[in-house]
Amino acid sequence: MCVRRNESKADTETSGVFRHFCLVAQRPTFEHIGTQLCRFSMKNDIKPGEHDQDFVGLTETAAQSVEMLKAVVSGETYEGVAARLGKSRTAVERRIKSTAIQLSKVVGIQGLNEDGAAYVRRLRLHRDAILIALESFDTGAGGAPRETRILTGAEMAQAVQRIKGRSSRPWHDVALFYMLFATGARPLEVARMEVRDYLDADGEVRRVSQMRAEVAINGKSRPLYFSSTKLDAVLALYLEERLTQKLGAGAAGAYRGLDPDSRLFLSATGCGFKITPYGEEGQRRFLCRPILETYSKLFRYSELQGVTALSARRTVISRLYERGADEKQVGILLGISEQSAVRDLLPRKKPTIAALVDELV
């Protein structure tokens, strides 16, 4: 039997509606931005070739940055690591912090954010979770810079077909895959979602929902939009499959016959992804290793090189930018409080001055 912790419902926030007028630049509404995210395509960046010596060098540097992080969280000082590797203390500290921030963005470890990564004491408090997360961390995404991986619509469609063909639970797995790209949620947040977050009591999809504070990694509620027909179609099949198998069943006639407080995604035995608390008593720190392993498996099934949960968030940001969103709106939707952190994830492309003034009249 699965034991779950009941969570209280948070008040639903509403967003303002903005109208567009000729020659007046207005921000699009969140509803417009979130509509059919999975339909939009972006041009994919080019990744260095497998035999490119520069790429190999970057990979080795990233792997060394990961080893530096492991050493410091295990008790070694910045000075000690620098002396052992023949590097400056400043360079070692910079690379360790960069790797820690990247790790936090990819796996979503609660309590380890951009601010926390700046302090070695906080890194050491997260030692066990960091070491576990690093097992499934793409070292190529570590401290070294690399090309931003943005998925096109065609690539996503191919990935879905491959996942369907290889998965023993295709509707569950494809819905998990789409969820990252349709909402921009982190894996831990997806693991925490419940049926009531996605469905109203009458069984209709909650188009304007809320990432409850107890679901959000930063502990702050934010808008959550379910506006993808592709996600809806696959989730409908998965939830129907759940009902047939009596996994998380509830009262007939409400929430499509499912328990509204059950996790949205369940295992074949009816359990949600196991979320493990860590750190000292009273600290809000959690790690969900099973969902990280599941996403790693899905990305492997997809045969898309270099794709991670971070790639999904960057793809979402790119599509939001294309629809006219500013960094503040992106931050609200993705749960990022600082606009500078949004720019760190993916800078917004700005037109050249020549392009701006071309044919003004």
Are residues 224 and 13 in contact, defined by beta-carbon separation less than 8 angstroms? Answer: no
- Over residues 286-302, the pLDDT tens digits come to 888 899 999 999 999 99
Closest CA to 178 of 33, 327, 316: 316
Coil, helix or strand for 127? helix
Are residues 204 and 291 in contact, defined by beta-carbon separation less than 8 angstroms? Answer: no
Task: Find the range with the poorest average confidence among 2-6, 169-173, 188-192, 273-277.
Answer: 2-6
139 vs 63: CA distance, rounded Å? 5
Structure confidence at residue 7 (pLDDT): 41
- More confident call, 291 vs 147: 291
115's CB contacts (< 8 A; 6+ apart) are: none
Residues of the chain with CATH 1.10.443: 31-42+150-302
Q: Looking at the predicted structure, is the pLDDT value of residue 40 above 70?
A: no
The neighbour count for residue 117, using CB atoms within 10 Å, is 22
- More confident call, 105 vs 183: 183
CATH number of the 31-42+150-302 domain:
1.10.443
- More confident call, 53 vs 315: 315
Structure confidence at residue 43 (pLDDT): 36
Structure confidence at residue 118 (pLDDT): 59
- Over residues 223-259, the pLDDT tens digits come to 999 999 999 999 999 999 999 999 999 998 899 999 9
336 vs 330: CA distance, rounded Å? 8
Coil, helix or strand for 163? helix
Select the highest-mean-pLDDT range: 38-52, 250-264, 274-288. 250-264
Coil, helix or strand for 294? helix
148 vs 302: CA distance, rounded Å? 18
H helix intervals, 167-227: 170-183, 187-192, 195-198
127 falls in which pLDDT band (50, 70, 90)?
Answer: confident
Q: Work out the mean pLDDT of the chain and round it to a whole number.
A: 78
Whole-model pTM? Answer: 0.66
- Measured at the CA of 143, the angle between CA 137 and CA 146, to 5 degrees, comes to 90
- More confident call, 279 vs 96: 96
DSSP 21-37: BTTB--PPPHHHHHTTG
CA 270 to chain centre: 24
Structure confidence at residue 248 (pLDDT): 94
Mean pLDDT of 323-352: 86
Instruction: Note every long-range contact of 250-256, with CB atoms under 8 Å and residues 24 or more positions apart, other chains counting.
Output: 250/195, 254/201, 254/202, 254/203, 255/195, 255/196, 255/199, 255/200, 255/201, 255/203, 256/199, 256/203
- DSSP classification of residue 260: T
Structure confidence at residue 338 (pLDDT): 84
